[in-house]
Amino acid sequence: MRKFEFQNPVKLLFGEGQISKVSSEIDSKARILLTYGGGSIKRNGVYNQVKEALRDYKVIEFGGIEANPDYSTTKKAIDLCKNEKIDFVLAVGGGSVSDATKFIAAGACYEGDSWDFVSKKVTITKALPLGVIMTMPATSSEMNNGGVISRRETKEKWPFSSPVLFPKFAVLDPTTLRTLPKRQIANGLVDIYVHLVEQYLTTTDHYMATDRLAEGLLQNLIELSPKLTSDSKTSYEDLANYMLTATLGLNGWTGMGALQDWATHMMGHEVTAIAGLDHGQTLAIIYPGTMDIMRDAKHDKLLQYAARVWNITEGSEEERINQAIEKTEQYFINAGCKVRLSDYGLGKEIANEVADRFKSRGYNIGENGIVTAEKVREILLSRV
Amino acid sequence: MRKFEFQNPVKLLFGEGQISKVSSEIDSKARILLTYGGGSIKRNGVYNQVKEALRDYKVIEFGGIEANPDYSTTKKAIDLCKNEKIDFVLAVGGGSVSDATKFIAAGACYEGDSWDFVSKKVTITKALPLGVIMTMPATSSEMNNGGVISRRETKEKWPFSSPVLFPKFAVLDPTTLRTLPKRQIANGLVDIYVHLVEQYLTTTDHYMATDRLAEGLLQNLIELSPKLTSDSKTSYEDLANYMLTATLGLNGWTGMGALQDWATHMMGHEVTAIAGLDHGQTLAIIYPGTMDIMRDAKHDKLLQYAARVWNITEGSEEERINQAIEKTEQYFINAGCKVRLSDYGLGKEIANEVADRFKSRGYNIGENGIVTAEKVREILLSRV
């Protein structure tokens, strides 16, 4: 059992109508930067609710944050924070907006070039306080202290984190999800699932409590997926359960003391950086390959996963593991994602390009560093 | 689905050797009140570890906090805090020490009589910062903002809570549990279990995530109980899993948005206040009665509990519910607790005395106020 430290101070405001409460969470004299994405919040009414809640504040807006938020975009917002003497940053949107907002909040308190946070591993020790109104559940960015930032000019995508980047609060109003496009539902169902297995599906010496929590949340996703992807209108209750499951998927609760993997995310980030696929799309392609190629190292936990998450208890150990991998892949397909590189016109070239990137970096990924550059190659080639 | 707000900022320091880290969590100039119970920490070596960790601080000690901590005891400690200008209170012990320390921390910042917190429902808005080194898992007091205080002179026992009473940190070192007496293991196994079902076993309209978490933690307890109660030495891993499960049992995670019961705790507090039974002992007696007498209101959730926690899926609904109640009672017996009032020489008199107390107060208990004074009478009489 590993020692661990854990703390997550984010305040959740969950339920219909909670957007109106943000003003009680932000200092009344704060100058607020309101960040958002491509404008869907203006079409679905969320923007108006937020503006109404902030009617007594000085609010400066920064819209247009793209999926896989780009360094160049955040740079403009950081300048705006400095010029406008912003005291608080409020993100309204999905994981990309939330991630970008964390990067902006840290950059606004840093004299140098914020790219240093990822390129020079400069420790983020100061950030503007921030809050998140989550409207596209997937990343759990609303309740954790990390994010991912891209730089298209150099085809890079990197994670960053700091204890000072926990949002002060996260508003989770399930009614904001009523207009979510199917593509985002698919990406979310995959992303949340893979967050959970990246923390869980390694070895069996985890704490029983975190294992049980991860298994329970995975079962929730499996139960919710057909309801979220059907053509009928999704009920408030299903949206609420989906939203809460997403938030708990990567808020640290299931990761306490756990030996974690994250190889699939690291490979997926490269595929996104090179070929522009959605984050969820990359995970749906790669994760079944990680399970298969790394099956020896993950053997015991794969059997536990098969039994407890999928109720697979019949057949030889190898058969049970094969079934668990198939069930997982089928879950991704049912969610609405494709699961092969070739489905996006990609092939061996990108597998080799990604593997070569890891080779040149000279370090392995995955739990205990079991995924070498050659394993990366093998995993990605198995998913052509 | 109910709206909810949730926040739990407690920092966990989990694992062997973590006691040495407390100094990095407390201001170096703080004058510390060190609180503890009957002295078991001096016999098992924890006291020396704590003193070593605090060697650079001004530390004033306050030992002798009893189980079901008494108002009169906390009063002395509150006076000590005021006279010695204490800045931080560090609890070392179990739930009673932690609860008392919260009451002391609040009382030290209050000009009036601290009994006002329970008798006049004076809101606790200020408290000294506190930390907890937990050495007897059960109450989750180390990771929540509440406690229970007794007053023997008037035979009363009341809960209190406040957002300012979250500990700054909780140290959970499983090696401190190696000398736990069987009676405390029994009480802990019952208390943690009942905390979970008080939050969970009401109706089926809870969030899926919190239901799954509660069910998982209950399964952990059922799996751990034989190992903890056997005569062989308990492994570090089992102690660690027990300790973490206890902390998560009442830290708010499984209670988010949940309709909660707590009738058994309220009845149990009265039995302790009148007859002096341990808290866990009262719960083991009463909870099977609550399940049985309130079975109609809890019908659907009882079936879910039977299926998911105990794997009971055969038989009529009533048979499944009966089996679930029997299994629960047997879990309490196997943990080492007695399950009848008569096992402690108590009978109809105390059932009526407790019911009359609730009658005179004029309000009902349980989820949605379904447990009237007459239901209290019926539940307790069924447990003679």
Task: State pLDDT tens for residues A251-262.
Answer: 999 999 999 999
Instruction: Inform me whether the pLDDT recorded for A39 exceeds 90.
Output: no
Q: Please compute the mean of the pLDDT values over residues B104-128 and round it to a whole number.
A: 97
CB contact under 8 A, B209 and A241: yes
Of B13, B15, B207, the CB nearest to A240: B207
Residue of B2, B14, B221 best to disrupt the A interface, most CBs of A under 10 A:
B14
Nearest chain B Cα distance for residue A356, angstroms = 39
Distances from the Cα of A254 to the Cαs of A201, A216, A259, B37, in angstroms?
A: 11, 10, 11, 33
User: Which whole number is the average pLDDT over B153-174?
Assistant: 96
Backbone phi, psi, residue A60, to 5°? -115, 135
pLDDT at residue A338 greater than cutoff 90? yes
| CA dihedral over B28, B30, B33, B36, signed as positive or negative | negative
The arithmetic mean of pLDDT across residues B317-322, rounded, is 98
Average pLDDT of span B10-18: 98
The pLDDT of residue B39 is 86
Interface A:B, Cβ pairs < 8 A: 125
B237 and A1 within 8 Å at the Cβ level: the answer is yes
* Minimum CA–CA partner of B217 in chain A: A209
Q: Is the pLDDT at A21 greater than 90, yes or no?
A: yes
A215 falls in which pLDDT band (50, 70, 90)? very high
Asked whether the predicted pLDDT for residue B354 surpasses 90, the reply is yes
Q: What percent of chain A shows pLDDT beyond 90?
A: 98
Q: Which CATH number fits domain A11-177: 3.10.580.10, 1.10.8.590, 3.30.70.20, 3.40.50.1970?
A: 3.40.50.1970
Ordered by start, the domain boundaries in chain A are 11-177, 182-381
DSSP state of B131: E
Per-residue pLDDT, averaged over B109-127, amounts to 96
Distance of CA A30 to the CA centre of its chain: 29
H or E element in which residue A381 lies: helix A373-381
Q: What does the alpha-carbon distance between residue A236 and residue A173 come to, in Å, rounded to a whole number?
A: 10
- In B164-255, which ranges are continuous DSSP H helix? 182-200, 208-229, 236-249
Note whether A11-177 and A182-381 share their fold: no
Region of B128 (left: φ > 0; alpha: ψ -120 to 50; beta: rest) is: beta
Q: CB-CB: which of A1, A9, A237 is closest to B236?
A: A1
Contacts of A9 (CB under 8 A, 6+ apart): A166, B7, B8, B9
- Cα separations in angstroms, B352 against A5, A292, B203: 48, 64, 28
Other CB atoms within 10 Å distance of the CB of residue B354: 25
CA A191 to chain centre: 6
Q: Where are the alpha helices (DSSP H) in chain B?
A: 40-43, 46-53, 71-83, 95-107, 116-119, 182-200, 208-229, 236-249, 263-275, 279-293, 299-310, 317-335, 348-361, 373-381
Q: Do B6 and A12 touch (CB under 8 A)?
A: yes
CATH assignment, B182-381: 1.20.1090.10
Compute CA distances B264 → B160, B201, B280, B287, B309, whole Å.
17, 12, 11, 6, 20
Q: Could you tell me if residue B67 is left (phi over 0), alpha (psi between -120 and 50 degrees) or otherwise beta?
A: beta
With 90 as the cut, is the pLDDT of residue B160 above it?
A: yes
Q: Is residue A129 pLDDT above 90, yes or no? A: yes
CA distances from A21 to A13, A161, B258 (A): 8, 27, 21
Residue B253 Cα, gap to closest chain A Cα (Å)? 9
Task: Report yes or no: A284 and A192 within 8 Å, Cβ to Cβ.
Answer: no
Decide: A323 and A288 in contact? Cβ < 8 Å.
no
CB contact under 8 A, A12 and B256: yes
Looking at every residue in chain A, the average pLDDT score rounds to 97
**Percentage of chain B modeled with pLDDT above 70:** 100
Q: Return d(Cα A262, Cα A197) in angstroms, integer.
A: 9
Mean pLDDT to the nearest integer, A187-193: 97
- On the 0-12 / 13-18 / 19+ scale of CB atoms within 10 A, B123 is exposed
pLDDT at position B302 over 90: yes
